Amino acid sequence: MSSGTPVFLAACRGEPVPYTPIWIMRQAGRYLPEYRAVRAKVSFEALTRTPELAAEVTLQPLRRFALDAAILFSDIMTPLQGMGIELTFEPGPVVREPIRTRAAIEALRPLAPEQDVPFVLETIRLIRAAAPRNVPLIGFAGAPFTLFCYLVGGRPSKEFEAARAFLYSDPQAAVRLLDHLADAMAAYLGAQAAAGAQALMLFESWGGLLAPPQFEHFALAAARRTLSALRSRGVPLIYYLNQGSALHERLAALEADVIGVDWRSPLGTVRRVLGAGKAVQGNLDPAALFAAPEVLEREAERVLREAGGQPGHIFNLGHGIWPHTDPDAVARLVDIVHERSARGEPGA
Ligand code: 1CP
């Protein structure tokens, strides 16, 4: 690691680090009383559209915990509003007119980030001006297929029946919509990097619903389109795949530096499947934060051990932190990860 490179960025690139960096998906959120105090006064949507407030809640967890990265406070659906999609957060995203026809796909506008989502770019500038230098800012977007699930399905769902049926009933139209979303997210993430985001992450929360051939043909092809367009930005690219245990072998050739892994797959297995060129991020079960301190410690050590004491591991949860988590458990987790990994145990 060259001196001065933040530990999180070095780990993304697979360089040796003095300790394993940690950040937590949804680290700005309802489990923090200071976040709830802000949300008591404004709606979620107003919060994401007011740069001073979105920057403030992004910074809140950094004041409490020695986290190694910040993540922009926004939502994966926010840029779609800029493309002419009407939606509300209830609290999950609900699309007023789900996209089901070729005409609806052709009517979608391309995204022009500076005009359509200037508040996101301004939020990034404010965070960069205020965040500690050794805590890089992660920008993010929804992966095309995950956005497709909400756009076609219309609302949160366990199975996303309408979206998955669409892949089979009109595969060409599905690819057209996915390509459109892939290009929009490439523009969106590129603008985030230009505004100061130091790593870019795609959330593929629903890719794990697909069988391997459909995952490859629809979800992965679209994600690849987005990531390839971002390669030249020179910032680490992270692809988080939820419920991906049957799909990891397909990710070895993806243009991402880091693969985010849910808690169902042991990191050792994932690393073997991905090969040496990729870093991994994860993958503690969010439920482990409810365990007694010694159990949490044991579980965190197990994740470090699975990661193998090799460079290229960023500690995280396997999915977003739950709203009723005790913040003190997060403080303990951050300390455990830093202390154990700095001592070189129990990885080696
Ligand atoms: O009213 C409220 O409190 C709104 C709740 C909320 C919040 C706090 C939503 C609606 N989005 C967010 C913020 C958010 N969403 C962040 C913040 C940055 C952070 O600290 O991590 C991020 C990264 C997201 C990303 C997101 N949104 C994902 C991908 C990650 C994941 O959870 O798998 C997904 C799938 C969404 C959709 C969404 N938006 C909101 C909700 C409640 C949901 C999930 C709906 C569902 O279960 O289908």
Domains of the chain are 7-342 (3.20.20.210)
Pairing type for strands 258-261 and 237-241 reads parallel
Interatomic CA distance for residues 194 and 171, integer angstroms: 34
pLDDT score for 347: 44
Please name the residue whose Cα sits nearest to atom 17 of ligand 1: 73
- Distance from the CA of 75 to the center of ligand 1, in angstroms? 6
Running DSSP on this structure, what letter comes out for residue 251? G
Give SS3 for 295: helix
Is 122 exposed, middle or buried, given 0-12, 13-18 or 19+ CB atoms closer than 10 A?
middle
| CA angle, residues 87, 138, 5, in degrees to nearest 5 | 175
Whether residue 203 contacts residue 140, with contact meaning beta carbons closer than 8 Å, is answered with yes
> Which of 35, 76, 283 is the best mutation target for the ligand 1 pocket, counting ligand atoms within 8 Å of the beta carbon and taking the most?
76
The pairs formed by 259-265 with CB atoms below 8 angstroms and a separation of 24 or more are 260/201, 260/316, 261/318, 262/208, 262/318, 262/319, 263/317, 263/318, 263/319, 264/318
Q: Is 118 in the pocket of ligand 1 (CB under 6 A)?
A: no
Q: Is 215 in the pocket of ligand 1 (CB under 6 A)?
A: no
Interatomic CA distance for residues 68 and 7, integer angstroms: 7
| CA angle, residues 315, 227, 201, in degrees to nearest 5 | 30
pLDDT score for 43: 97
Please name the residue whose Cα sits nearest to atom 48 of ligand 1: 156
Please name the residue whose Cα sits nearest to atom 8 of ligand 1: 29
Please name the residue whose Cα sits nearest to atom 43 of ligand 1: 92
Residue 298 CA neighbour count, 13 Å, CB half? 6
Helix (H) or strand (E) holding 192: helix 171-195
Catalytic residue, chosen from 75, 116, 257, 262, is 75
- Distance from the CA of 2 to the center of ligand 1, in angstroms? 35
Helix (H) or strand (E) holding 202: strand 199-204
- Distance from the CA of 228 to the center of ligand 1, in angstroms? 25
Q: Is 44 in the pocket of ligand 1 (CB under 6 A)?
A: yes
- Distance from the CA of 292 to the center of ligand 1, in angstroms? 28
Q: What share of the chain is helix, strand, coil (3-state, %, to 5)?
A: 50, 10, 40
* Angle of helix 144-153 versus helix 171-195 axis, rounded to 10: 120
- Please state whether the predicted TM-score (pTM) of the whole model is above 0.95: yes
CB atoms within 10 A of CB 41: 9
> Which of 22, 23, 24, 26 is the best mutation target for the ligand 1 pocket, counting ligand atoms within 8 Å of the beta carbon and taking the most?
26
- Distance from the CA of 309 to the center of ligand 1, in angstroms? 31
Residue 26 known to be catalytic: yes
Interatomic CA distance for residues 40 and 52, integer angstroms: 16
pLDDT score for 344: 82
Total residues found in the chain within this entry: 348
pLDDT score for 168: 98
Mean pLDDT by 10 residues, the chain (348 residues): 85 97 98 98 97 98 98 98 94 96 95 98 98 98 98 97 98 98 98 98 98 98 98 97 96 96 97 94 98 98 94 97 98 98 70
pLDDT score for 3: 64
